[in-house]
Chain A
Amino acid sequence: MFFRPRLFTRCLAAFICLVAGAVTAAEQTLRVAILENSPPMSYRDTDGRLTGFSAEIIRAVCAEMQARCELQPIKLEHVLDALGSGEIDIAAVSLLDTPERRARILLAAPYFRSTSLWFAKPGVQPGDRGIRVAAVKGSAQERYARSQGWETVAVPTNGELGQPLLAGVAQAAIVPMITALALMKSKDFQALGLSSTVMKAPELIGNASFGISPRRPELKEAVDGALEKIKRNGVYERINSQFLPFRVH
């Protein structure tokens, strides 16, 4: 057997290409959509950088997956279409489990557990006649209100949920638990003197998950695994403490 330098060089080159390819594959780029005006879940900080509970969780998940994630803003009402068409790979948006969502997209393992609150003047009960209920367009809360036959006022973002009430367009709002925390800090909102109750409807309580494009089903296992890891290694708890006053999972 003779040593053949050229053959050896070619083999080495092929090997390097393979390894490089594998490294490239590991550092895949994912298009991640996120809500822009939904404090403290996701919002722009004073530097204009997207942050918040959902934003930092998805960053930690991407780091755990060793993937490069490009965050891009989206409105909740467009999430299902964007995921379905494959325009985005992941929606780092807290999605309650609804039949429509389950049918059209993949839901990752839950990253927190949510409830929904009823905000209204004292004495105004859910289902009262002649009231209009504010909800975010495309949200599970909006879906629930409509399914109950209530008149709704849709707003595009969680951050704007207080406005119909302040403007007197709506007399009540169904607000996701974490958005309620932000609303209650607003002086104007406090001044409305609304009372709040936790809604008992099972559609409005429970696991909230990121959405995954049905065109990228392999991502579900990776995202679930990464979530499981950060829940165990303390990263999740730190993010929880950073943005929210209590443990939400």
Chain B
Amino acid sequence: MVTREFRERYRARTAFVILATTFALLFGVVVALLAMDQHRVLEASQRLQQDTIPQIIRFQRLARNLEQIRQEGERVFSATTPEGRQQSLFLIMLVASHPSILEHPQSAEAARDAERFLIETGNLASGDRSQISQRHAEWQNISKRLSLLVDDLSVQGASLATDDLNEMVAVMQLARAKLIGALILVGGFLLLLILLLNRHLIRPLQRIDQTLSSLSVDQPAPEFPDARMAEIHAVEQATRRLHDSLAANEAARRELELLANRDGLTGLINRRHFMVIADAELQHTQGQGRPAVIALGDLDYFKRLNDTYGHAAGDTVLQAFALLLEESFRQSDLVCRYGGEEFAFLFPDSTVEQARALADRFRQRVADHDIRLPDGLLIRVTLCIGLADASKSTIESALHDADFALYEAKRLGRNRVIVAAETA
């Protein structure tokens, strides 16, 4: 087990609640900023409506009145009767003293100067008309000054609106920049969210999915990189436990299989299991046209041995014999305890001659082998082996033939190997 350094894990719900809250707060701040800009635009447009436009209209009226003074001034010079001149002077006095002009100091001063000049002119005119034309040149200057003031006021009125509009434009541009910033922020946040989701939920889930679909006892226990999400970590742990429990089940199953297929005393496979796998092996060999031999072996005088030395001695002999068997035959050869002191063999890829040589060598080895009984006594046993060619026949018929050969071997005096074909 690999030891990992401890890492703090977060519950997915907590993590995403924190993320969502952060997002909501950020978004809220951005929206508030935009709302402030909107408010400023609204304020500016309200100011334009409520203050600036009335101010512009006031400037227009003021300009109109100054122009009126100028025109009446011209009339003072062009008037043919004293009454006409008096009318104009009277009107000039009214306009020059009107609050609309008095409230604008520059205009008030210009109007007062013009009024004073024109009244003086009027007084002179009642005496000598020639003096009027002399003063006209001076009046031209005053008149020009009034005209310029009228122009200034018109432009000033228009620029008041321009100021407000410029401010609105500036605010809107700022708001647009903020909006773009907000979009980038939202986009970035979504990207981050997707990355986090992918890294901490989707990819771990895919890993778990892959692991679960290929989970098998043949594979080593699954390994996961350390997950930061508590839930993912829990599922991974469960997957590991599942693998452990699969492995434990498989071990138990093998144990049971062993118990079912093996002979308890000798550890050799039992007759039932032999019949299944020897049949399959035989069919496989025959299918490829290769030779095979079936044999049956039986210990000589085993009943007498049991009677003489007891069943424990018999068991010891069987165990020692089984050990000899396992030492003497190829890995590919199948040997089973067929029953009692009887053993069955399958020699795949062996001709009868090869098998006979093998069997005979084994018979000799058994005959020369000392077996120590539990009481310390050394004894030797012999056996008979009947062989039958199984290259073409079924396992049952081959066993039948081998049994017949075994019987023949017993009949001929024991401790020998007989091939069925020889007796046929």
Contacts and interface: CB of A to CB of B under 8 A. Distances in A.
Interface residues of A, number: 21
Given A113-B100, A115-B99, A177 B94 contact: yes
Q: How large is the interface on B (under 10, 10 to 19, 20 to 34, 35 or more residues)?
A: 20 to 34
Interface string A169-204: 000000001001100110000100000101000000
B100 A180 contact: no
A248 to B, nearest CB: 7
Contact of A198 (B86, B87, B93, B100): B93
Interface in B403-419: none
B64, B87, B99, B100: which has the most chain A beta carbons within 10 Å? B99
A190 B65 contact: no
B83 interface: yes
A249 B94 CA distance: 13
A246 B99 contact: no
B93 A196 contact: yes
B53 interface: yes
Question: DSSP majority for the A interface?
Answer: mixed
Contacts, number: 52
A246 B98 contact: yes
A205 B101 CA distance: 13
Contacts of B182: none
Interface string A200-219: 00000110000000000000
A103 B97 CA distance: 29
A146 interface: no
Interface in A32-52: none
Given A115-B97, A184-B90, A198-B94, 16 more contacts: A113-B99, A115-B94, A115-B98, A177-B98, A180-B90, A184-B87, A196-B90, A198-B97, A206-B99, A231-B54, A232-B54, A237-B61, A246-B68, A247-B62, A247-B65, A247-B100
21 contacts: A113-B98, A113-B99, A177-B94, A181-B91, A184-B86, A184-B90, A190-B86, A196-B93, A198-B93, A198-B94, A198-B97, A231-B54, A231-B57, A232-B53, A232-B54, A232-B57, A246-B64, A246-B94, A246-B98, A248-B100, A249-B61
